[in-house]
Amino acid sequence: MSGPNKSYDPVQVTPLNAESVEAMVAAALQAFAAATSVAELKQARAAHAADRSPIALANREIGALPPQARKDAGARIGQARGRINAALKEREAEVSADELSRMLVAERVDVTLPVELTPVGAVHPITALMDQMCDVFVAMGWEVAEGPELEAEWLNFDALNFIPDHPARTMQDTLFADPADGGIVLRTHTSPVQARTLLDRDLPVYVVCPGRVYRADEFDATHLPVFHQIEGLCVDKGITMGHLRGTLDAFARAMFGDVRTRMRPNFFPFTEPSAEVDLECYVCHGSSVGDPANPCRTCNSEGWIEWGGCGIVNPRVLQACGVDTDIYSGFAFGMGVDRTLMFRNNTADLRDTVEGDIRFSRSLAGTAR
């Protein structure tokens, strides 16, 4: 093992001589200047200023030098490292400021740009109207009942006293589920809920049933193969036509304001007597009748609008559902919801209600009275 170097040994100080140190500094400064990002500068720092950089390695040689040379080299290296570190610090500040401003430009958000609004839906006018109709009855203490759209033929027809060869039972009017003789139909009205309610619930019953119904109809401005009805059924002791009339008047007033109703005799297999319910035109109140100068679009200047069917529940229906007709009687009614929307909101074309254009729904939103 050799002892400490007493003599000035030029071989050992090569990395420490002024020229080499100057070259290291120059290389470091050049590398720092060339770095244009924080990441590049990090690499340049590792190469020129960190523990394994030439200047750091040179620094390690100092200890082996004789005293005077050690002092000179120490001063030189110290000064060089000072320059390198100062340059690094300066460049670091520049590069990160640059990077920040580049980022600010690249990620700039123009807060004045219009926001892309995600369109939100709207309650469909038919749904809104059905809810409103139900509310009128719920406020009078009635309940809301529901039944399936795919219905037993027996409940849709037989329980409601439709005779076996009633024309409504043909394929022309009714959509039968496969197989056609399987006894399942797409309900043609909400009236089967009458039978379901009587079979399911204890008496007395006061229910309304809103829902979708199906008929093998054309699809045009005034017909839809799928439409909506609201059914009402009351079965209690001592129910008369007077109760029916009063209920329909209350319903009409809640929906249309100060209007009267009238009944015209009609026939339905499940009510006896049966009637057609007309609504006094809530726009012209009859003033347009016989006055061509003053026509009314809502009632076609007829003064009355056909609204639905009603009647006293046929005892045969009550009996089919096990109700003692010596004690109980009832009334029922059924209205078309789409039709009601048509004359209530002047929607000219029923197809608008199924096309799903949100502008249609929005245009009627808030028109509820």
| Minimum CB distance to ligand DAH smaller for 161 or for 191 | 191
Stretch that binds ligand DAH, among 119-127, 178-186, 303-311, 349-357 (CB under 6 A): 303-311
- Distance between CA 263 and CA 271 in Å, rounded? 14
The label of the residue with tokens 């071989």 reads 11
The label of the residue with tokens 């892309």 reads 116
Nearest distance, CB of residue 368 and ligand DAH, angstroms: 24
Is the backbone peptide bond immediately before 66 cis, with ω within 30 degrees of 0? no
Nearest distance, CB of residue 217 and ligand DAH, angstroms: 12
* Phi, psi (rounded to 5 degrees) for 261: -120, 160
Nearest distance, CB of residue 247 and ligand DAH, angstroms: 12
- Distance between CA 206 and CA 142 in Å, rounded? 5
In the shown chain, the binding pattern of residues 210 to 249 toward ligand DAH, with x for contact by CB under 6 A and - for none, equals ---------------------x------------------
Q: Is 311 in the site for ligand DAH (CB under 6 A)?
A: yes
Among 137, 162, 256, 268, binds ligand DAH (CB under 6 A): 268
Q: Is 310 in the site for ligand DAH (CB under 6 A)?
A: yes
- Asked if 281 and 303 count as a contact pair (C-beta separation under 8 A), the reply is yes
For the range 105-113, what are the long-range contacts, defined as Cβ-Cβ under 8 Å and sequence gap of 24 or more? none
> Degrees (nearest 5) of the Cα angle 271, 148, 270?
10
Q: Is 281 in the site for ligand DAH (CB under 6 A)?
A: no
The label of the residue with tokens 């008929």 reads 215
| Minimum CB distance to ligand DAH smaller for 281 or for 337 | 337
Stretch that binds ligand DAH, among 24-32, 48-56, 219-227, 331-339 (CB under 6 A): 331-339
Amino acid occupying residue 166: H
Q: List contacts with ligand DAH (CB under 6 A).
A: 189, 191, 231, 268, 271, 274, 309-311, 332-334
